[in-house]
Amino acid sequence: MKTRLISIIIMAALFLGACGTSATQKEALSTPTSGTLNPTSATAAVQSDAVGITISGFKFDPATITIPVGTTVTWTNQDSANHLVAADDGSWKSESLPKGATFSHTFDKAGTYTYICRIHTTMKGTIIVK
């Protein structure tokens, strides 16, 4: 009789232990999921090989940046007008970006890349990749 009671207690303890483990796993799994729901802040916080350029007042800010090879540059349009970022050599270009929209390009080769806004061709920028 006593042995049976002990085995029931052990079973109960194992059951509770199993529940505790699965709850912890659920929490661990939900953490990256909620992170991907907010890509803007997650990208800024985690990736050190990423830089941002603001499009504001019909200017790229900063207009010229120097970055290491492999850096991802993200342009964010803060103007009410649409802008379309495009490399002078035609190797990459964004869509027409409305206010608040972003465009990203990763620079995998060293070189000096000049670009313009296709809509307002007086807007110019330079990315120097080293």
Q: How far apart are the first and last CA of the chain?
A: 78
Closest CA to 88 of 111, 66, 62: 111
Q: What's the closest the beta carbon of residue 31 comes to Cu ion, in angstroms?
A: 39
Interface with Cu ion (CB under 5 A): 83, 117, 119-120
For Cu ion, the closer of residues 97 and 129 by Cβ is 97
Q: What's the closest the beta carbon of residue 107 comes to Cu ion, in angstroms?
A: 21
Could you check whether the bond before residue 62 is cis, i.e. omega within 30 degrees of 0? Answer: yes
DSSP type of residue 21: H
Nearest-Å Rg of the Cα atoms of the chain is 26
Q: What's the closest the beta carbon of residue 98 comes to Cu ion, in angstroms?
A: 11
For Cu ion, the closer of residues 83 and 105 by Cβ is 83
Q: What's the closest the beta carbon of residue 96 comes to Cu ion, in angstroms?
A: 9
Residue 97 pairs in a beta bridge with 83
For Cu ion, the closer of residues 42 and 87 by Cβ is 87
For Cu ion, the closer of residues 83 and 107 by Cβ is 83
Write b or e for each residue in 35-71: b if 16 or more Cβ atoms lie within 10 A of its Cβ, otherwise e: eeeeeeeeeeeeeeeebbbebeeebbeeeebebeeeb
Residue nearest to Cu ion (CB): 117
